[in-house]
Amino acid sequence: MAKKRNLITLLVLILVLVMVINFKTILKFAYPIKYEDYVIRHSAKYNIDPYLVISVINTESKFNERALSSKGAYGLMQIMPDTGQWISQYLEIKPFNNDMMYDPEINIKMGCWYLNNLSKEFNGDTELILAAYNGGRGNVNKWLSNGEYSKDGKALHKIPFKETEEYVRKVKFSYNIYKYLYDLEKNP
């Protein structure tokens, strides 16, 4: 009986050692990167941190380019049809149709442009940008003007939408993991 217990203990220790040695490799399965060239190119063009873009994609769609949410959001960065139509006018994507948002490069380009647009509105505040990306810029502006959610009108101390609060937390967590795992500081 003691031999069996010692063998099990040894196997567990070996397994733990293998996991520790291969920690980054194992973690990369949960936090993969796809479409890196598009992310690097368009994040640079629109002055957005590529780690933020990758983290949004991972949180929104888990890199499923054919993702379609129950609310009707399309593609990797889960862009809503009205938002896609609006962005397409600025990017001169003509003619535009919703299925175009399934194209990884178009979706990432639109998502980076939109993150940049939100960044300008919210002075580069990542938490506000993410809250607006998920919960809507109009809602974030309302929350900033409400003392229950913002003490100074510049930052949120409380996000009233549970889904948006969780979204911001997930993207920020993914961001830290991606920064640890990958080197995206390349020139396009």
List the catalytic residues: 60
Structure tokens at 69: 């949410």
What are the contacts of 140-143 at 24+ separation with CB within 8 A? none
For 79-147, the DSSP string reads B-HHHHHHHHHHHT--S--GGGGGSHHHHHHHHHHHHHHHHHHTTT-HHHHHHHHHH-HHHHHHHHT-T
Q: Is the dihedral of CA 152, 156, 157, 159 positive or negative?
A: positive
The residue among 120, 163, 116 whose CA lies nearest residue 139 is 163
Cis geometry, peptide bond prior to residue 50 (ω within 30 degrees of 0): no
d(CA 2, CA 64): 49
